[in-house]
């Protein structure tokens, strides 16, 4: 079920080339670094664009992330997929920025956190999903509190593991599912606001 949506997608030969490039860049080869940059900058920019509130923030963050990556390249463990490592660096950077800006909104404070989530009606949920376009979802994502949005981006854009998400957001591993589910609920509410149907039918356990 946990299908990788961003497979490195390479045959062994390509993988060897990629690994060699990373090794060269690690050793300080500027050309190899340039190639790495060109290969991954678009993906990292898109990641930042999803995670950060404005396009300009995303551009700045992308640049800063690559500065960091270049500095930290020596710490990269080649047994791990490079892209995943890159996303970890990017996620930490963006989350740091967001946290520093105190973008954690009221919605994320204590009592709301413990509020039970209402059980959705599958049919209505299905209907809501059917009726919404990607663009509407993106617009709704922009309205989410920072942590909820970040959690969804980490999971469904970067395909990050629960462990890594927990480490990035600074929450317990067991809490990641809750954060994700809560984020989905918040998203549904916003999407519903755009449309009209209500999903909640009361808790069935």
Positions touching another protein (CB under 8 A) are 1-2, 5-7, 9, 30-31, 33-34, 37-39, 41-43, 45-46, 49-50, 55-56, 59-60, 62-63, 66-67, 70, 117, 119-120, 122-123, 125-126, 129-130, 132, 134-135, 137-138, 141, 152-153, 155-157, 162, 177-178, 180-181, 184, 187, 203-205
Those residues with Cβ within 8 angstroms of residue 54's Cβ, 6 or more apart along the chain or in another chain: none
Neighbours of 144 (CB within 10 A): 20
Those residues with Cβ within 8 angstroms of residue 70's Cβ, 6 or more apart along the chain or in another chain: 33
Least Å distance, CB 204 to another protein, is 6
Least Å distance, CB 22 to another protein, is 14
The whole-angstrom separation of Cα 51 and Cα 97 is: 10
Those residues with Cβ within 8 angstroms of residue 166's Cβ, 6 or more apart along the chain or in another chain: 172, 173, 175, 176
Least Å distance, CB 108 to another protein, is 18
Those residues with Cβ within 8 angstroms of residue 201's Cβ, 6 or more apart along the chain or in another chain: 118, 119, 120, 121, 124
Least Å distance, CB 164 to another protein, is 13
Residue number, 69 or 106, with CB nearest to another protein: 69
Least Å distance, CB 74 to another protein, is 16
Q: Tokens 């800063």 appear where?
A: 64
Distance from chain centroid for Cα 60: 17
Least Å distance, CB 130 to another protein, is 8
Residue number, 106 or 151, with CB nearest to another protein: 151
Say if CB 171 and CB 179 are below 8 A apart.
yes
Residue number, 77 or 130, with CB nearest to another protein: 130
Residue number, 20 or 106, with CB nearest to another protein: 20
List the structure tokens of 177: 């599912």
List the structure tokens of 147: 């942590």
Residue number, 106 or 185, with CB nearest to another protein: 185
Residue number, 1 or 106, with CB nearest to another protein: 1
């Amino acid at each position: 079920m946990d299908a990788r949506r961003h497979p490195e997608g390479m045959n062994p030969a390509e993988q060897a080339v990629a690994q060699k490039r990373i090794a060269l860049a690690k050793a300080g080869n500027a050309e190899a670094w340039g190639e790495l940059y060109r290969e991954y900058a678009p993906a990292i920019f898109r990641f930042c664009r999803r995670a950060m509130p404005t396009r300009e923030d995303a551009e700045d963050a992308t640049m800063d992330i690559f500065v960091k990556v270049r500095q930290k390249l020596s710490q990269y463990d080649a047994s791990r997929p490079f892209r995943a490592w890159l996303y970890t660096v990017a996620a930490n950077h963006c989350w740091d920025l967001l946290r520093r800006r105190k973008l954690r909104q009221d919605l994320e404070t204590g009592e709301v956190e413990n509020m039970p989530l209402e059980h959705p009606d599958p049919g209505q949920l299905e209907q809501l999903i059917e009726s919404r376009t990607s663009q509407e979802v993106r617009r709704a994502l922009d309205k989410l509190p920072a942590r909820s949005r970040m959690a969804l981006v980490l999971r469904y854009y970067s395909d990050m593991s629960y462990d890594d998400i927990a480490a990035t957001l600074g929450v317990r591993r067991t809490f990641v599912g809750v954060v994700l589910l809560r984020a989905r609920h918040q998203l549904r509410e916003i999407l519903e606001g755009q449309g009209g149907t209500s999903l909640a039918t009361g808790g069935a356990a």
